[in-house]
Amino acid sequence: MAEPRHHDLVLTGGTVVDGRGGPGVLADVAVDGDRIAAVGAPGALAGRRTLVVTGKVVSPGFIDIHSHADFTLAVDGRAQSSVAQGITTVVTGNCGHGVAPVTDRSAPLVPTNIPGWRAEWDDRQTWRTFADYLDALRGRGVGVNVLPLVAHGALRLAVAGFETRALRRAELDRMRGMAAEGMDAGAIGLSTGLEYAPGLAADTAELIAVAGPVGERAGLYASHCRNRTDRIVEAAQEAVTVAGRTGCRLQLSHFVRRPTATDRSLFHRAVDVVRAGPTRSRLDVFPFPHGPTPLPTFVVPMSIRDAPRREVARRLADRSLLDDLDQRFVDALASGVAATCYLASDGGDGTLVGRSLGDLAGEWGMSLPEAVLEVLRRADVDFYDAVVVERVFDDADLRWALLQPDFLVMGDGLTGALDGPLAGHAMCASDWGYAPQMLGRFVRGERLVPIEQAVARMTAEPAAQLGLTDRGVLSAGYRADIVVFDPARVGTAVREDALISMPAGIDEVLVNGTAVVSAGRFTGALPGTVGHRPG
């Protein structure tokens, strides 16, 4: 009788939840190199190294389809906050915020439009083209797989800065060319941020034109849509129109209505509009009621920011801005939401982190708008690193979205670390906690979603939406992106006013067959890949 094949590694004794949505089964998983070699009956597979995971769940690594880690990965590629919670792939460049390509026009503007990018890191912008940026990440090394979106905002900054006008034909053609170049370099699709500068200046025709080369290359159109309140139905229809006219798959980002007086039926009508679209369409949501917003985009007009850092900082210190506040902030003031926003990052030494804007206004003896401008004044040139977490979802809406099979579960945060240049840096609770929050609170604690469905919506479903054919499922031949977690312990202690905390119960994480977390500890390995290579 032939000797059994000895694989590089065998995970034995665990319950395999393979990502396809079916019930978990007791099975062993074998890994050879960067691939899953076999999934077999307990005890049927032999390995040169064996890891006993009895009582634990073995699943595909989680895919964060909505991340803002474009720049934090360039600062520290380890992605500790991601791998700590079992995330093995991140999709960057969301909400129209991106770091490449860069032109002479946009070079001083891009760093001031990326959450977390501080002035001290400006010299790290060594790239110009999208391909250059991906090469920079590869050269540094990354702990997760990185699938970037081309950000519409970066393209618009490249040709027109923060100008709020219609584009000239030559400018639009240039944006289309840069979108095509980004896709050919390894981008997975195009993102838009239509509530943010500079995307809010774009009309539907511009979006269709820029997304055209993306659809031609079977890419994704991921949109932070124009409105999630009283015009949410029209915003959904615009996204569906862009995807339908270009052939892109459609991803509606954090598509849950804002907690205002808006009729909930409008939200459900908007979801129906998305579901009726002509291309594959999905939505996504993070499992927290609070989400991140850079403070300048929340309170001041876009035109204020069309200048280098030092000049924008000077403008933000001008108290005349109190007479020209952004309508979103005015509405947030009227509803009481603004007072309950917590500072996730203060653009300074962190002494204001975790404080609410309302508390700061009271302590400083100021009106709330005055307190916000004071935060920005103190941040000085790091004004875009002043980020608040605001209550963006009503609890009932959040739970409804988490129950829907076509709402993928994602993060909307940055990558951070416990040490090094990103220590203490965070943008929202998802940075360190969205996957364990979903598995601990909503799967085990509240039993809102079965574990098999939750895993599917963080693995195989986002992989299919991205057009990936070798990730997101635990099956022979797929990439060995694997997470082992204890279903009885998995969870997180993060809150809206305490954003950094190591997750519990995430014991083993493999990226392309290499351990990035072993026995709950970081290994420091950088086995991630950068960019999408179709086929």
Quickly list DSSP for 438-451. Answer: IIIIIIIIS--S-H
The model's pTM is: 0.96
CA 274 to CA 282: how far, in whole Å? 8
Decide if 495 is inside a domain.
no
343 lies in the same domain as 437: no
User: Encoding tokens for residue 508?
Assistant: 């083993």
What contacts 30, CB < 8 A, 6 or more positions away? 7, 8, 9, 10, 11, 36, 37, 38, 39, 40, 45, 47
| CA of residue 372 relative to chain centroid, distance | 25
Does position 2 have pLDDT exceeding 60, yes or no? no
Q: Which residue bears the tokens 């979006």?
A: 207
Decide if 347 is inside a domain.
yes
Alpha-carbon Rg of the chain, whole angstroms? 22
Round to the nearest angstrom and report the end-to-end CA distance of the chain.
Answer: 38
Decide if 472 is inside a domain.
no
Torsion of CA 255, 256, 262, 263, to 10 degrees: 100
38 lies in the same domain as 122: no
266 lies in the same domain as 323: no
Share of the chain above pLDDT 70, in %: 99
143 lies in the same domain as 205: yes
Q: What CATH number does residue 511 fall under?
A: 2.30.40.10
409 lies in the same domain as 367: no
Decide if 285 is inside a domain.
yes
58-107 pLDDT, tens digit per residue, is 999 999 999 999 999 999 999 999 999 999 999 999 999 999 999 999 99
163 lies in the same domain as 241: yes
Decide if 535 is inside a domain.
no
Decide if 534 is inside a domain.
no
State the total domains in the chain: 3
134 lies in the same domain as 229: yes
Decide if 530 is inside a domain.
no
Q: At what angle do helices 130-140 and 169-185 cross, to 10 degrees?
A: 30
If 0-12 CB within 10 Å is exposed, 13-18 middle and 19+ buried, where does residue 327 land? exposed
80 lies in the same domain as 205: yes
Q: Which helix (H) or strand (E) holds 342?
A: strand 342-346
101-144 pLDDT, tens digit per residue, is 999 999 999 999 998 899 999 999 999 999 999 999 999 999 99
Q: What CATH number does residue 140 fall under?
A: 3.20.20.140
159 lies in the same domain as 196: yes
Share of the chain above pLDDT 90, in %: 88
CA 17 to CA 330: how far, in whole Å? 47
248 lies in the same domain as 330: no
Contact between 474 and 60 (Cβ < 8 Å): yes
458 lies in the same domain as 310: no
Give the domain range for residue 46: 6-60+477-490+501-519
Decide if 447 is inside a domain.
yes
232 lies in the same domain as 380: no
